[in-house]
């Protein structure tokens, strides 16, 4: 076989539909993977930052235009636990977990350039999560974008979590390294801004998208630096979270957690406790660094300069079109609330609320102990005394504090400047059973990712579930594509109005979705939104 024949054969194989994709950029030469079942090119585990110094801000990966990178597998999860086959260390913790700042790119195989970008930030209480989680597989939603001729590029990012991303104390504040998990996300956005055009994306058409702690992160990026987003994104989607809600506790709150961590790993008596924590082997510190769902974002005077309510009511946020919403029964209550005294104690001293006694008592007045009015909603007078005699009452208060009231405040304030599309999710996450109460937190995730194959939160193959999943995925990509969720191409669906037109929500249901006026619990929500938390 002659050289010309070999060359022609190689050329045909290299350009065949099944050929592995290669992208040349200033960041390097990336060798990805082709997914024939989706007709997509994927680039997995792209490092946007080298391994950072523990409890320090990361730096952007240096350009390496001539360096080849194999990006066909997900990178290491930031949890750094040895159960993953890539980091198997006898089932224990591995320091590879600190070298986890990767992002993934999923794109339809198309010759088009300038595609909008839909960038996912996972939730998990800033405590857990990973882009490799099959529940967050972006291939399904990217496939829907191609199906309605509005192709988008999907991007998902890893970031440091728990103590490794959100440590705070007097020592940390002095060092200026609070909120480094959020700064990791910001660095990933900067990488996308610099390099996504090489993959066919448009850096001026990025929509950031998250759920729960991911949605709070999106809200933080909207409020960050007084509302200066440096052109890193033009729109946002926030599911069950936003720019207000999770406590922005100061160093006093976190000092106890910091002191417990130093004591647990033998650094309490060190002259420089932060430096001591940096020198402790990862497998020693990791089990303590991931304990408890208490690692929240914090006021740092730089990235997060002020309370979320202050940012919103003074206009100190980045103005842009947004989609945001909550699930009917988010379920952010506390078990064991039996009396008014129990409720007041939780509202005053819980890590989530931190209200004073006057505020707590006023909330009890606004949310009477009437089971018919409580959450989960729509269950009448049914109660669950095993969870507390005031379970439904406290769930209503807690959910409105954490989710529902902040969602309304953001919709009201943002809609003064830009289009806002607000929703309420009213479909169970899968095959509701007597042990699953209401439409709770995370219920929408199987639908918006549409993964019918994975088993953790299965969507199933029922016609109604699949139909709703198709609708919400197409709404999300339509919004990312042209900033309007109504270009989804599904017939028989009510038009989703902008919030400023009539203060309404689009209600997602498996039987028939509809539009409702956004006036539930108006007095209680208004009072919550008058508080600075």
pLDDT the model gives residue 457: 64
Residue 24 is among the residues annotated as catalytic for this protein: no
Residue 212 is among the residues annotated as catalytic for this protein: yes
Among candidate residues 239, 441, 443, 513, the one labeled active-site is: 441
Given a contact cutoff of 8 angstroms between Cβ atoms, the answer to whether 64 and 28 are in contact is yes
Better-scored residue on pLDDT, 224 or 435 = 224
pLDDT the model gives residue 509: 96
Averaged pLDDT, 361-366: 98
Query: What's the pLDDT tens digit per position in 268-278?
Result: 999 999 999 99
Separation of first and last alpha carbons in the chain: 75
Averaged pLDDT, 473-480: 98
**Extended beta strands in 2-63, E state:** 22-25, 28-31, 33-35, 40-47
Given a contact cutoff of 8 angstroms between Cβ atoms, the answer to whether 427 and 510 are in contact is yes
Given a contact cutoff of 8 angstroms between Cβ atoms, the answer to whether 504 and 518 are in contact is yes
Query: What's the pLDDT tens digit per position in 163-181?
Result: 999 999 999 999 999 999 9
Query: What's the pLDDT tens digit per position in 20-43?
Result: 999 999 999 999 999 999 999 999
Nearest to 123 by CA among 157, 80, 75, 172: 157
Residue 321 has pLDDT above 60, yes or no: yes
pLDDT the model gives residue 431: 45
Query: What's the pLDDT tens digit per position in 287-298?
Result: 999 887 678 899
Work out the mean pLDDT of the chain and round it to a whole number. Answer: 90
Averaged pLDDT, 50-79: 96
Q: Long-range contacts: 33-40, Cβ < 8 Å, 24+?
A: 33/72, 34/109, 35/139, 38/108, 38/139, 38/140, 38/142, 38/143, 39/108, 39/109, 39/143, 39/146, 40/106, 40/107, 40/108, 40/109, 40/139, 40/142, 40/143
Averaged pLDDT, 200-228: 97
Q: Which fold would CATH assign to domain 3-320?
A: Rossmann fold (3.40.50)
Averaged pLDDT, 126-139: 94
Given a contact cutoff of 8 angstroms between Cβ atoms, the answer to whether 496 and 484 are in contact is no
Dist. CA 204–CA 190, nearest whole Å: 12
Three-state DSSP class for residue 476: helix
Among candidate residues 212, 311, 422, 513, the one labeled active-site is: 212
Percent of the chain with pLDDT over 90: 80
Percent of the chain with pLDDT over 70: 91
Residue 193 has pLDDT above 90, yes or no: yes
Among candidate residues 211, 239, 330, 412, the one labeled active-site is: 330
pLDDT the model gives residue 91: 52
0.85 exceeded by pTM? yes
Averaged pLDDT, 50-68: 97
Dist. CA 76–CA 133, nearest whole Å: 12
pLDDT category of residue 429 using cuts at 50, 70 and 90: low
pLDDT the model gives residue 531: 87
Residue 18 has pLDDT above 90, yes or no: no
pLDDT the model gives residue 10: 32
Residue 441 is among the residues annotated as catalytic for this protein: yes
pLDDT category of residue 80 using cuts at 50, 70 and 90: confident
Given a contact cutoff of 8 angstroms between Cβ atoms, the answer to whether 474 and 490 are in contact is yes
pLDDT the model gives residue 83: 41
């Amino acid at each position: 076989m002659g050289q010309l024949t070999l060359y022609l054969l190689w050329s045909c194989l290299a350009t065949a539909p099944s050929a592995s994709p290669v992208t040349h950029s200033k960041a390097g030469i990336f060798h990805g993977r082709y997914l024939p079942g989706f007709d997509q090119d994927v680039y997995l585990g792209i490092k946007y930052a080298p391994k950072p110094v523990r409890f320090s801000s990361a730096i952007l990966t240096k350009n390496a235009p001539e360096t080849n990178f194999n990006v066909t597998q997900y990178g290491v999860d930031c949890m750094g636990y040895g159960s993953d086959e890539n980091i198997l260390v006898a089932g224990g913790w591995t320091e590879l977990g600190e070298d986890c700042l990767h992002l993934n790119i999923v794109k339809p195989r198309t010759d088009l350039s300038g595609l909008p970008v839909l960038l996912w930030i996972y939730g998990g209480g800033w405590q857990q999560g990973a882009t490799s989680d099959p529940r967050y597989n972006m291939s399904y939603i990217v496939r829907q974008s191609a199906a309605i001729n509005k192709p988008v590029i999907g991007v998902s990012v890893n970031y440091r979590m728990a103590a490794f991303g959100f440590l705070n104390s007097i020592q940390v504040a002095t060092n200026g390294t609070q909120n480094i998990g959020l700064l990791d996300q910001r660095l990933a956005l900067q990488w996308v801004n610099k390099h996504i055009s090489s993959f066919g994306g448009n850096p001026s058409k990025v929509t950031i998208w998250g759920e729960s702690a991911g949605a709070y992160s999106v809200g933080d990026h909207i409020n960050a630096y007084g509302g200066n987003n440096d052109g890193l994104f033009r729109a946002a989607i926030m599911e069950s979270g936003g720019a207000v809600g999770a406590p922005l506790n100061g160093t006093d709150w976190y000092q106890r957690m910091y002191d417990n961590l130093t004591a647990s790993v033998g650094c309490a008596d060190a002259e420089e406790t932060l430096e001591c924590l940096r020198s402790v082997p990862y497998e020693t510190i990791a089990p303590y660094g991931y304990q408890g769902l208490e690692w929240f974002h914090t006021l740092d005077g730089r990235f997060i300069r002020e309370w979320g309510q202050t940012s919103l009511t003074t206009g100190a946020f980045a103005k842009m079109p947004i989609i945001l919403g909550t699930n009917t029964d988010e379920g952010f209550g506390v078990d064991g609330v039996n009396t008014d005294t129990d409720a007041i104690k939780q509202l005053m001293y819980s890590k989530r609320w931190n209200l004073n006694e006057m505020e707590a008592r006023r909330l009890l007045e606004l949310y009477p102990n009437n089971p018919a009015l409580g959450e989960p909603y729509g269950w009448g007078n049914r109660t669950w005394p095993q969870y507390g005699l005031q379970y439904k009452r406290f769930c209503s208060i807690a959910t409105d504090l954490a989710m529902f009231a902040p969602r309304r405040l953001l919709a009201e304030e943002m809609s003064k400047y830009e289009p806002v599309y607000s929703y309420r999710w009213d479909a169970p996450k899968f095959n509701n059973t007597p042990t699953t109460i209401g439409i709770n937190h995370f219920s929408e995730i199987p639908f918006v990712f549409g993964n019918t194959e994975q088993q953790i939160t299965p969507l199933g193959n029922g016609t109604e579930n699949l139909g709703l999943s198709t609708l919400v995925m197409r709404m999300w990509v339509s919004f990312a594509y042209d900033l309007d969720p109504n270009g989804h191409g599904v017939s028989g669906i009510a038009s989703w109005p902008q919030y400023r037109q009539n203060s309404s929500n689009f209600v997602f249901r498996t039987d028939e979705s509809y539009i409702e006026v956004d006036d539930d619990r108006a007095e209680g929500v208004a009072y919550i939104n008058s508080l600075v938390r």
